[in-house]
Amino acid sequence: MAFSCIFVKIILSLHTQIEIDMNKQYQELKVEEGVYIPQPALDYPENNPFERTLFPTFDRELVIDENYPYLNDSPSNISRMRWGYLFILKIGLNILLRVKMGLRIRGREILKKYKKEFSQGAITIANHVFRLDCPCVLLAVNAKHTTRIPMFAPNFRTKDSFFLSLVGGVPIPDSSSNMTALKKFNEAFDEFHRRGWWFHIFPEACRWDFYKPLRPFQKGAFTMSYKYNKPILPCVITFRERKGIYRLFGTKEIPLLTVTIGEPIFPDTTQPRKTEVDRLREVAHNQMIKMAGITHNPWPAAWDNL
């Protein structure tokens, strides 16, 4: 019954779309011929690329401190995630996203080409542009239930809490938590790395629905790449015009989705940490701009104007 409720809520949420005029970044954006730019879904901020534009209802009590199970090896949790990945993600959401959002996946040959290099895990990154973009990426890379995703802690106090945990979300202790909580979080990811598990991170930090330009990246994914010597696997979500039979499942303003998997980026751990983290961020940002068909992106790779 709980799974059915989740699907109903997800389907209803996909119909939300607000038409607005192009903002400054959209006026500066340039793309290759034939690249589709959807109607902006929000009045996007122009001066802060990390400003949150969505404000969910925090209606659940959850203490995220040093006692939170960041590393949850209980048999019930392992079983829940294993079966959840199979029935909710790989069957249920796979069908939903392909039918309703026309999900297409490109570049899966990369997974075979670098199978040896990915044997001890990798860090997938993607632009954060859709409520279900995380499942889109997980499906694209054939993720297993052992994938772990650092997430904005307050979101675990919303109606999405169950789903976030199911896909491998681990809340990042916020400023109200003590240093012991952050230590426990880091220790959990040390263990995930030791086991060779995959990570997924949205370096843009927060979601801007159907936003075409690529926003600046925060350092977290690239710091983890350097620390754990894991390759970065860039994935880009791009948009297609909704037409044909897909008009039966959504308004024209809601675009269809394509996930493209790019060539991995490998850290050089012989270099100083700061230098290499900055390089990884710059290379990933530039590569993903090209993958998105953008010829002039209005945002830089790093943003230090806050």
Residue 169 gets which letter from DSSP?
E
> Using an 8 Å Cβ cutoff, are 257 and 106 in contact?
no
Q: Is 165 helix (H, G, I), strand (E, B) or coil?
A: helix
- 77-89 b/e (C-beta count within 10 Å ≥ 16 → b): eeebbeebbeebb
Q: What is the pLDDT of residues 219-263, one digit of tens each?
A: 999 999 999 999 999 999 999 999 999 999 999 999 999 999 999
* Closest by CA position to 284, among listed 303, 263, 298: 263
How many Å apart are CA 171 and CA 149, to the nearest integer? Answer: 8
Residue 302: CB atoms within 10 A of its CB come to 14
- Residue percentage of the chain with pLDDT more than 90: 82
Give residue 1's pLDDT band: very low, low, confident or very high (50, 70, 90).
Answer: very low
Name the band, by pLDDT with cuts 50, 70 and 90, for residue 174: confident
The pTM of this model reads: 0.91
pLDDT above 50 (res 19): no
Residue 70 reports pLDDT greater than 70: yes
Judged against a pLDDT cut of 80, whether residue 177 lies above it is answered with no
pLDDT of residue 34: 95
> Which amino acid, 152?
F
Give the residue from 91, 139, 92, 87 showing the smallest Cα distance to 111: 139
The mean per-residue pLDDT over the stretch 265-281 comes to 98
